[in-house]
Amino acid sequence: MTNTIDTGALLALGQALQRAGYQFTTVTPATHRRVNGRPANAWASDLRGVFGWSRPFREDAVPKEILALMWGAGVLKERNGGLCATVRASTIGERLYFHSAFPTRDDDAVFFGPDTYRYIAATKRAMDTLAPPRRAVDIGAGGGPGAIEVAARFPGAQCFAADINDRALALAGVNARLAGLANVALRHSDLLNNLEGGFDLVMSNPPYILDPDQLRYRHGGDMRGAGLSLAIVEAALERLNPGGTLLLYTGIAIVDGRDEFFEVIRPKLEAACASWTYEELDPDIFGGQLDCDGYEEVERIAAVWLRATRR
C-alpha cells in the first residue's frame, strides 16, 4: 500500500458505519473469491459489499456522507470503471475493526480473518479466569483486536499493541478509538525489543504460513512457518512477570502425526512455567496450503492454543 490514511477522517468513517448498524464477518480468501465470483456480486450495492466484500461500486451505492469521508480518509481508489475501498471493515460483536481490503497482496497488509475470530474467542474464554493484568502486550497486533479486547475487559490495564507494520499500528489506533478505549498504547516493535519492563500478560496471533514471497503478514519463518511462534514463546518467557500469562494462537504444520513446535517448546514450558496447557482448537485449517512448496510432507495444519503461566 502506498496511499496515506487520514486517521481522523477514518475514525469519522468508522463512527458513521457504526451509526448505520454495519456488521460484517470476514471469511477465508477462498470463500471470499467464490462469493465475489458469482455474477450477481460483480458490483457492490450496499455498505457490506463496499467495506466487507471489497467489491467495486458506483457512487450512488453509498450515502454521500460515507463517500465524502472515504475521500477524506484516503481510502478510495478507482477500479474497473468504478470505485473501490482500500480498507475493509469487520465486526466482532459490537466492535468494528478496519483492516486491509481484499485481496491482501501488499507486504504491509493488515490481516483479519477466521483466525482472528478464533483468537479472540479463545482470549475471551481465558480472560474469564485471568487475574487482571497491570501491563499487557499483543505481539504482532495487526489491527489491534487482541489488545482492544483485553483493554475493554480490564480498564485498569495498560495494553500495548505492538507491531513492525506502521499501517497496522495506524489502523489499530483508529480501532481503539472506535471502541472508546484510552488504555491502548501503540508501539513499533519487533517482538518485545522496543518495549521495556515486564508484563503480566503477553498474547499473540502471529503469521504461521510458509510463504514463498515472505510477506510479513503471512510468513511464519522456519520450522514450516512455526519459527516466529517459537520466537514469541521465548521472548514471552523472558519478559513475563512471576505469575504472568502467555496466550498464543497459531497454526502448526503436522508431519507424520508429529507436532515439532510442541516438541521444541515443551521443555521450555516445563522449565519456566508453573502451569501450562496446549490444545488443538481446529485440526485442519488452510488445507489448500498443502499444495504449496515446503508442505510436501505436511499432512495437515492445526490451529493450536497455548496458555502458560510463568513460575
| pLDDT, tens only, 147-194 | 999 999 999 999 999 999 999 999 999 999 999 999 999 999 999 999
CATH number of 114-310: 3.40.50.150
Q: Is residue 3 over pLDDT 70?
A: no
Q: Which residues of 57-76 are buried (b: 16+ CB within 10 A; e: fewer)?
A: beeebbeeebbebbeebbbb
CA atoms within 13 A on the CB side of 49: 17
Q: What is the rounded CA–CA span in Å between residue 34 and residue 201? A: 39
Beta-ladder partners of 96:
91
Higher-scoring residue by pLDDT: 151, 3: 151
Q: What is the rounded CA–CA span in Å between residue 251 and residue 135? A: 26
Q: Is residue 82 over pLDDT 80?
A: yes
Q: Is residue 258 over pLDDT 80?
A: yes
pLDDT for the residue numbered 4: 84
Provide mean pLDDT across the span 9-15: 98
Q: Is 309 left (phi over 0), alpha (psi -120 to 50) or beta?
A: beta
| pLDDT, tens only, 90-130 | 999 999 999 999 998 888 999 999 999 999 999 999 999 99
pLDDT for the residue numbered 2: 45
> 300-310 and 273-282 as β-strands: parallel, antiparallel, unpaired?
antiparallel
Q: What is the rounded CA–CA span in Å between residue 222 and residue 229? A: 10
Look over the chain and give the mean of its residue pLDDT values, rounded to a whole number: 96
Domain boundaries, the chain: 7-100, 114-310
Provide mean pLDDT across the span 196-213: 94
Q: Is residue 12 over pLDDT 80?
A: yes
3-state DSSP call for residue 5? coil
Task: Give residues with Cβ within 8 angstroms of 162, minimum separation 6.
Answer: 137, 138, 139, 140, 141, 187, 188, 189, 191, 192, 194, 195
DSSP 8-state class, residue 75: -
